[in-house]
């Protein structure tokens, strides 16, 4: 597809036509917080609601992963309205997540830490009440531990699992606050279709999926 | 619009219509025709027992009168409703009929000549004997377009529909060019009745011109808002009107297949729609080469799982495709890329039911009803603290006051009006000062509410606005698909704050957190569910902030509704010393007599606030009251 030129945060960049604003920015080293986006041509999930940007000529902030680049587009990733939405989304995630970096194998490589630093939000945010999900930790897999209380429901693990196994061992189930990443019939991962490839663990942006070996080193 | 060409289709239909009319006339020759309103509302009130009683009693007297099940007339407060059409009399509508009354009606009216006026609601026609329904005050405000057939024809007999003019619009449409129909719908200004009020003609045009084939038409009958039952009533009472609308839509956008998505919790609607589809197919009004012409279109019925979010169009389509019913980002809109990625027209039941009338009577007729930007009529389900609960159809632009007080006959017991909740979980509560607002899509949105699907819940002084907001948030949180952050977690936080308020545990600064979060959820959610979920709270705060503050500052619930903020108290001076109704009724033995003075006292430690004592205290004494905050109870 034809290359288009656009401006993000004052920087002139080029991106292949049809690309999303999010990947165009990331490929040009401009960071926009994101958890659920994937870099293929499937329809965006648009579920994490972190990738807010402002685009000239648009009244309200939009999610960068759902916006296609256009010639001459002017994007601002640091607008007040966009940052406000991104911060609220992050604070909501943190308020319902177990935040225990000192004892987490993902610490240092965790996307939540990165996004919090970028948005200048404290990991132990106080704006919202701590409402934890109190779900059982699943250590039935020989390879990894799944702590659903640290899951942000980004769906990255589900996606790679599906790519690897065809139908996939993982999926989302239940509604509202109770929605969670789980296996068919909520059975322990060790008893599911899981083939222990570990792709999901690599794909997970948080400490929800961690290798047992890494956890043991703590 | 002038119809041209294709005489074959018209000629084929003429034969069908003649047959239907002949059957209809045959019916009028009976000694009497008995029509029992047996939609879900009627059945809940006992319509099927009444139906059986009529049949048995007729048999007993060897009378051969047709007993027909019809749909809902909208007077749900007066169910079961029966209409008896006996030659020489007007068609008389009886209310609150039970099996005993049914037997009497057979003996005295059908066999004899006593129309039993004590059970009458009204008559369908002007006459000298019984007041006509048209003379009821509410009739001045109502205008039945899509509810016209409801309760007056047998939804299980396609000939009734055809004899009353049904499928003529389809025949007319088939003789027009699709563009002509789309133009007429555009000119009519019809806006989608599924909630958002999107311009129907525009949507049809987009779908027709979107690349890709085949195209699909979907009728959205998910209807998941609490208290709404308009679409159910239409599918149960007049399913062919929706099918005809879909056929015309299919012809206009160039689709060959349609789906009617009905929630599985509507078994009667499912059953009657299925039957209607098969009857239409038998007459070749549906299927291949309809009426011998070039147009082929068939419709399948799909039973949804009854999730509120499945009413959202992208979630509905996912659910039709066998995937989880979660919404996805728009655009692309379904009209461009919907079912299986093909252009898909999705319209609400009511929207589709309007189509035949617009094709039949023209756009000008339609724009003559309602307001400039919201032409036509609106259907509302009246519920809550209102005398005449049920369905009504009024021109857009009718005021809330007219709907609640003239059509609905106001609030039971003459209590003061407090608010009206419109649009269900996406809408809002409007106060007294909004009563003279002419209702249409735009005026309601401006006031902070929403047309939604047409649920209208009337609230009086005994309803706590904080509790109402909490109730709706609990609903949206439960019904949220949980996919996106704002809706999954944001509504949970809002619900938590509101729950604290109703327990008197909130702080004033929580109000700021609540409103700030509400604004963000509106702006940040992925689909319409999350984007409208904060509306009940925001309007409520806009108009009833003092009630929130009373809960927070004083631990007081002004409506005396929030359990944890009230106490039951027996006024010693009013308590009749010889009576002990409350003592016996209290399940936790919290009430005892004063050792010396013998009036009753409630032990506040033991009291579980069930309110049984208040109901038990005889009205002549009326000695028990609710007090808020509980510290108001004298020591
Ligand atoms: C949470 C949610 C629930 C909805 N439920 C319904 C519904 O039950 N029936 C309906 O017709 N539209 C519903 N809608 C609106 C549909 O997405 C869609 O706009 C509508 O069916 C289009 O039809 P219309 O143009 O005739 O209004 C809902 C939307 C949302 C966001
Ligand atoms: S386990 Fe990790 S990758 Fe999977 S949904 Fe949760 S946060 Fe995303
Ligand atoms: S707004 Fe609510 S219902 Fe809609 S996608 Fe997000 S979580 Fe699901
Ligand atoms: S990356 Fe855009 S919504 Fe998640």
Query: B549-573 pLDDT, tens per residue?
Result: 999 999 999 999 999 999 999 999 9
Distance CA B505, CA B565 (A): 10
Residue A178 in contact with partner chain B when CB distance is under 8 A: yes
Question: What is the topology classification, in CATH, of domain B465-553?
Answer: de novo design (two linked rop proteins) (1.20.1440)
Q: Is B445 helix (H, G, I), strand (E, B) or coil?
A: helix
Instruction: Name the minimum distance, in Å, from the CA of B517 to any CA of chain A.
Output: 8
Q: Mutate which of B305, B317, B483 to test chain A, going by most A C-beta atoms within 10 A?
A: B483
Residue A30 in contact with partner chain B when CB distance is under 8 A: no
DSSP strand E in B585-633: where?
591-593, 600-602, 624-627
pLDDT of amino acid B329: 95
Instruction: Divide the 635 residues of chain B into consecutive groups of 10 and give the mean pLDDT of each group.
Output: 63 96 92 94 94 96 94 92 94 96 95 93 91 90 95 95 97 97 98 94 98 97 88 96 98 98 95 98 97 96 92 96 94 96 97 98 97 96 93 96 95 94 91 93 89 89 95 95 97 97 94 97 97 94 96 96 95 91 93 91 94 93 94 89
DSSP percent split of chain A into helix, strand, coil, nearest 5? 30, 15, 50
Give the position, in ligand 4's atom list, of the atom nearest the Cα of A48: 4
Distance CA A68, CA A146 (A): 35
pLDDT of amino acid B4: 45
- CATH number given to B158-367: 3.40.50.11540
Which residues are bridge partners to B344 per DSSP? B216
Q: Mutate which of B224, B482, B494 to test chain A, going by most A C-beta atoms within 10 A?
A: B482
Distance CA A177, CA A166 (A): 28
Q: What's the whole-model pTM score? A: 0.93
* pLDDT tens, position by position, B33-45: 999 999 999 999 9
Distance CA B498, CA A72 (A): 46
Distance CA A71, CA A21 (A): 12
Provide the residue count of chain B.
635
In this complex, which of A61, A88, A177 lies closest to B477 when CB atoms are compared?
Answer: A177
pLDDT of amino acid B180: 97
Q: Which CATH class is domain B377-460?
A: alpha beta
Burial-class residue B634 by CB neighbours within 10 Å (0-12, 13-18, 19+): exposed
With CB atoms and an 8 Å threshold, state whether B493 touches A89.
Answer: no
With CB atoms and an 8 Å threshold, state whether A49 touches B492.
Answer: no
* pLDDT tens, position by position, A34-84: 999 998 878 899 999 999 999 999 999 999 999 999 999 999 999 999 999
Question: What is the topology classification, in CATH, of domain B566-627?
Answer: Alpha-Beta Plaits (3.30.70)
Which stretches in chain A have pLDDT values below 50?
none
The helix (run of H) or strand (run of E) holding residue A62 is strand A62-63
**Domains, chain A, with CATH or none:** 3-78 (3.10.20.740), 91-216 (3.30.70.20)
- CATH number given to B31-135: 3.40.30.10
> Which of 505-534 (B) contact A at CB < 8 A?
513, 516-517, 520, 523-526
- Compute the count of residue pairs across chains A and B with CB atoms less than 8 Å apart: 101
A25 in ligand 2 pocket by Cβ < 6 Å?
no
Yes or no: say if B289 and B297 are a contact pair by the CB < 8 Å rule: no
Q: Mutate which of A177, A178, A181, A206 to test chain B, going by most B C-beta atoms within 10 A?
A: A177
* Cα maximum dimension of chain B: 96
Residue A139: count of CB within 10 angstroms of its CB: 15
Helices (H), chain A: 21-27, 80-95, 111-119, 156-165, 199-203, 212-216
A115 in ligand 4 pocket by Cβ < 6 Å?
no
Residues with CB under 6 A from ligand 1: B 192-196, 198, 220, 222-224, 308-309, 311-313, 346-348, 351, 453, 527-529
Q: Give the pair of three-digit tokens for residue B27.
A: 């019916």
Distance CA B127, CA B133 (A): 11
Distance CA B495, CA A3 (A): 47
Regarding beta strands A62-63 and B82-85, do their DSSP bridges make them parallel or antiparallel, or are they unpaired? unpaired
Residue B478: count of CB within 10 angstroms of its CB: 15
Long-range contacts, A196-201 (Cβ 8 Å, 24+): A196/A141, A196/A142, A196/A143, A197/A164, A198/A143, A198/A144, A199/A157, A199/A160, A199/A161, A199/A163, A199/A164, A200/A144, A200/A156, A200/A157, A200/A158, A200/A160, A200/A161, A200/A170, A201/A143, A201/A144, A201/A157
Instruction: Name the minimum distance, in Å, from the CA of B371 to any CA of chain A.
Output: 28
* pLDDT tens, position by position, B576-597: 988 989 999 999 999 999 988 8
Residue A89 in contact with partner chain B when CB distance is under 8 A: yes
Distance CA B462, CA B129 (A): 41
Distance CA B516, CA B5 (A): 61
pLDDT of amino acid A168: 84
pLDDT of amino acid B2: 44
In this complex, which of B328, B477, B524 lies closest to A176 when CB atoms are compared?
Answer: B477
Regarding beta strands A62-63 and A74-76, do their DSSP bridges make them parallel or antiparallel, or are they unpaired? unpaired
Distance CA B522, CA B500 (A): 22
Per DSSP, B35 falls in state E
Instruction: Name the minimum distance, in Å, from the CA of B301 to any CA of chain A.
Output: 25
pLDDT of amino acid B196: 87
For ligand 2, atom 3: residue with the closest CA = A204
Instruction: Name the minimum distance, in Å, from the CA of B624 to any CA of chain A.
Output: 39
Nearest to B425 by CA among B626, B239, B223: B223
Segments making up each domain of chain B, as ranges: 31-135, 158-367, 377-460, 465-553, 566-627
Distance CA B437, CA B210 (A): 39
pLDDT of amino acid A182: 96
HEC profile of B526-591: CCHHHHHCCHHHHHHHHHHHHHHHHHHHHCCCCCCCCHHHCEEEECCCCCCCCCCHHHHHCCCCCE
Phi, psi of A184 (to 5 degrees): -60, 125
Q: Give the number of whichever ligand sits closest to the CA of residue A203.
A: 2
Phi, psi of B229 (to 5 degrees): -150, 25
For ligand 1, atom 20: residue with the closest CA = B194
DSSP strand E in A83-208: where?
144-146, 170-173, 180-183
Report CA(B332)–ligand 4 centroid distance (Å).
Answer: 17
Residue A1: count of CB within 10 angstroms of its CB: 8
């Amino acid at each position: 597809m034809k290359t288009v030129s656009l401006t993000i945060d004052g920087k002139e960049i080029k991106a292949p036509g049809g690309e999303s604003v999010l990947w165009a920015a990331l490929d040009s080293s401009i960071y926009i917080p994101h958890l659920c986006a994937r870099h293929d041509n499937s329809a965006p999930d648009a579920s994490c609601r972190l990738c807010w940007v402002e685009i000239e000529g648009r009244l309200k902030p939009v999610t960068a992963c759902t916006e296609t680049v256009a010639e001459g587009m002017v994007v601002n990733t640091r607008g007040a309205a966009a940052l406000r939405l991104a911060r609220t989304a992050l604070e909501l995630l943190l308020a319902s997540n177990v935040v225990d970096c000192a004892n987490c194998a993902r610490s240092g490589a965790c996307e939540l830490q990165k996004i919090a630093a970028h948005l200048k939000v404290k990991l132990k945010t106080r704006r919202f009440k701590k409402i934890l999900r109190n779900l059982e930790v699943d250590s039935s897999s020989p390879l990894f531990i799944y702590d659903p209380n640290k899951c942000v429901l980004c769906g990255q693990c589900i996606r790679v699992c599906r790519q690897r196994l065809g139908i996939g061992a993982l999926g989302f189930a239940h509604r509202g606050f109770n929605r969670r990443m789980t296996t068919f019939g909520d059975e322990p991962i060790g008893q599911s279709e899981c083939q222990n490839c570990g792709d999901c663990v690599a794909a997970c942006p948080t400490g929800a999926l961690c290798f047992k070996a890494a956890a043991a080193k703590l | 619009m002038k119809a041209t060409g294709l005489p074959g289709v018209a000629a084929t239909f003429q034969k069908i219509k003649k047959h239907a009319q002949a059957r209809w006339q045959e019916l009028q020759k009976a000694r009497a025709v008995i029509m029992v309103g047996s939609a879900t509302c009627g059945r809940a009130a006992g319509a099927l027992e009444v139906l059986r009683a009529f049949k048995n009693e007729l048999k007993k007297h060897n009378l051969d009168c047709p007993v027909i099940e019809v749909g809902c007339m909208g007077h749900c407060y007066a169910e079961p409703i029966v209409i008896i059409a006996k030659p020489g009399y007007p068609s008389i509508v009886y209310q609150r009929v039970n099996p005993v009354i049914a037997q009497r009606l057979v003996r005295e009216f059908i066999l004899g000549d006593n129309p039993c006026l004590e059970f009458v609601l009204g008559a369908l026609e002007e006459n000298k004997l019984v007041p006509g329904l048209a003379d009821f005050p509410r009739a001045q405000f109502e205008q039945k377009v899509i509810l016209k057939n409801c309760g007056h024809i047998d939804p299980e007999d396609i000939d009734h529909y055809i004899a009353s003019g049904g499928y003529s619009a389809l025949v007319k449409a088939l003789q027009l060019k699709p563009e002509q129909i789309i133009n007429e719908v555009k000119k009519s200004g019809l806006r989608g009745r599924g909630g958002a009020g999107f311009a129907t003609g525009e949507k049809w045009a987009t779908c027709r011109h979107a690349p890709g084939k085949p195209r699909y038409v979907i009728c959205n009958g998910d209807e998941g808002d609490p208290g709404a039952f308009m679409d159910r009533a239409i599918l149960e009472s007049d399913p062919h009107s929706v099918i005809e609308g879909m056929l015309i839509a299919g012809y206009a956008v160039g689709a060959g297949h349609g789906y009617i998505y009905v929630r599985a919790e509507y078994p009667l609607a499912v059953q009657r729609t299925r039957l209607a589809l098969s009857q239409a197919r038998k007459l070749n009004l549906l299927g291949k080469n309809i009426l011998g012409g070039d147009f082929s279109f068939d419709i399948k019925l799909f039973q949804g799982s009854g999730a509120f979010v499945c009413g959202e169009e992208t979630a509905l389509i996912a659910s039709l495709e066998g995937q989880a019913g979660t919404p996805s980002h728009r655009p692309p809109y379904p009209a461009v890329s919907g079912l299986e990625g093909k252009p898909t027209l999705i319209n609400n039941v009511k929207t589709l039911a309007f189509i035949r009338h617009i094709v039949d009577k023209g756009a000008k007729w339609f724009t003559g009803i309602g307001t400039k930007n919201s032409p036509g009529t609106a259907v509302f389900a009246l519920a809550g603290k209102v005398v005449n609960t049920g369905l009504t159809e009024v021109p857009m632009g009718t005021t809330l006051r007219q709907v609640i007080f003239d059509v609905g006959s106001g609030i039971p017991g003459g209590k003061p009006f407090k608010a009206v909740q419109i649009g269900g979980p996406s809408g809002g509560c409007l106060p007294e000062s909004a009563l003279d607002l002419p209702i249409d899509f735009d005026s309601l949105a401006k006031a902070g509410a929403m047309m939604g699907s047409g649920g209208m819940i009337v609230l009086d002084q005994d309803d706590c606005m904080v509790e109402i907001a909490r109730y709706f948030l609990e609903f949206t949180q439960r019904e949220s698909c949980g996919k996106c952050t704002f809706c999954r977690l944001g509504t949970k936080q809002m619900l938590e704050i509101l729950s604290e308020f109703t327990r008197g545990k909130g702080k004033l600064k929580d109000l700021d957190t609540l409103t700030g979060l509400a604004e963000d959820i509106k702006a940040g959610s992925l689909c319409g569910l999350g984007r409208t979920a904060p509306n009940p709270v925001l309007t409520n705060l806009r108009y009833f902030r003092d009630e929130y503050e009373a809960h927070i500052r004083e631990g007081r619930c002004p409506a005396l509704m929030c359990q944890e903020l009230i106490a039951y108290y027996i006024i010693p001076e009013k308590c009749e010393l010889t009576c002990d109704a409350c003592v016996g009724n209290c399940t936790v033995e919290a009430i005892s007599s004063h050792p010396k003075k013998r009036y009753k006292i409630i032990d506040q430690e033991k009291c579980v606030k069930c309110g049984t004592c208040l109901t038990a205290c005889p009205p002549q004494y009326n000695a028990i009251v609710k007090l808020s905050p509980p510290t108001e109870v004298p020591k």
